[in-house]
Structure 1
Amino acid sequence: MNRTRNVAVLLYEHVDGLDFCGSFDVFATASNWGKDFNTYTVSEKPGLIHTISSFAVSPKYNFNDCPQPDVLVIPGGLGSRTEMNNEVLTSWINSTSKNTEMVLSICTGALLLAKANLLSGLKVTTNRRAMDVLAQVAPKDCEIIDDIRYIDNGKIVMSAGVTAGIDASLHVVSRILGEERAIETASRLEYTWNRQILR
């Protein structure tokens, strides 16, 4: 019998709204009314977070009171280029990831994983408009892959930009709960799952 897994979706100033909302809704929809996934948001500090689209979100938890996630989702957005230099945030990602089942980066969330020292030796990807930045901050032993929707490195799953994060989230659901649940979730979201994956 599957246990309920905690899915934490990280928020920070100027995060991309669709990056985190798309992934959040995949896990929430797949959760079988909360039985399989307990999905929640977390930010460094309490208070409103403003997305790059200018709407405000109130995260449920902050770094001091966040339950340990089984799946940690790191969305992208313009703010990632600033937050990748936030050592409090990248240290939290590093320490929290040690006890997770999986870490999923979406879009330029890859920059945060790079700065959190989680990408050594992996195949990595990000938004095609940020490949140059990823090349600057990723470890030299990474293999940067473009023109792919998402990459499964085992514990670390990485997606290209924006809606590719929905595809990667469905992939994570399929790994945990099976392909049938992922297909059902995509259907409920009226979304066509693109399975262009690299393993």
Structure 2
Amino acid sequence: MEQARRARNVAVFLFEQVEPLDFAGPFEVFLSGSNEGQDFNVYTVAANNCPVKALGGLSINPAYTIADCPKPDILVIPGGWGSRKEMNNDTITNWIRGISNDIEVILSVCTGALILAKANLLDGLKVTTNRLAIHELREIVPASTEIVEAARYVDNGKIILSAGVSAGMDAALYVIEKLLGIDRAIEAATIMEYDWRRD
């Protein structure tokens, strides 16, 4: 009998002034698609163990720090105004770059793409971000990077990037489809009563 696969670790990264739905949306998607925790172990991680203040003053206590979190199989990098500061935080970008080779999927939401760009992970890829931040992304990606402005999300294999806010939920459902099949993704969307846009 084939041994059951352990649940994939899904690390949702948090930082000051993160957009709430950018992290909470994918968190809920992977939770809803986890088959009651059997397929995804979803947790939050931040640079340190201090409470993180998201946009609007929402305070979140990260479950782990980048120094002690379980090894991620899937890493979610959300966006928000704070991404403009954190993209220049070497501690964060070095950590992302350092673990990137061992990760199955990296999903950026909205301006999380800016952080991935500064981590030097977008060379030669197709990328997207929030429509209002396309110009910011264009300023920092290599010439070999193709910006796809109209896409809800783009898949480069390991690295998947989505447009703004709710597009991150669509992309997270796409990741579930990619890893566990369309039926599981549809089931997760149904649990959330979410109208999944697959384009």
Of 66, 74, 96, the match for 1:93: 96
* Structure 2 residue 82 is the aligned partner of structure 1 residue 60: no
- Are 1:83 and 2:86 matched, yes or no? yes
Q: TM-score, normalised by structure 2?
A: 0.97
Tell me what 1:36 maps to: 39
Match of 2:52 in 1: 49
> In 1, distance between residues paired with 2:43 and 2:61?
11
Instruction: State the match for 1:69 in structure 2.
Output: 72
Q: How does 1:24-173 map to 2 (within 5 A)?
A: 24-173=27-176
CA drift at 1:64? 1.0
Regions of 4+ moved over 6 Å: none
User: Aligned equivalents of 1:54 and 1:36: distance in 2?
Assistant: 32
Aligned residues with identical type, % of pairs = 54
Secondary structure class of the residue paired with 1:40: strand
Structure 2 Cα separation of the partners of residues 140 and 10 of structure 1? 27
Partner of 1:195: 198
What CA distance in whole angstroms lies between the structure 1 residues aligned with 2:66 and 2:31? 21
Alpha-carbon distance, 1:96 to partner: 1.5
- Distance in 2, matches of 1:53 and 1:105, equals 21
Structure 2: runs of 5+ lacking an equivalent:
none
Q: Which residue of 2 aligns with 1:18?
A: 21
Aligned-residue CA RMSD (Å):
0.7
Name the amino acid aligned to 2:123.
S
Deviations 1:35-64 (A, max 9, x none): 100000000011100001211000000011
SS for the counterpart of 1:53 is helix
- Counterpart residue identity of residue 106, structure 1: V
**1:3 to partner: Cα distance:** 3.0
Residue by residue over 1:152-171, the C-alpha shift from the partner in whole angstroms, topping out at 9 and shown as x without a partner, is 11000000000000000000
Cα distance in 2 for partners of 1:155, 1:165 equals 16
1:158 match: secondary structure:
strand
Matched residue type, 1:140: A
| TM-score between the two structures when normalised by the length of structure 1 | 0.97
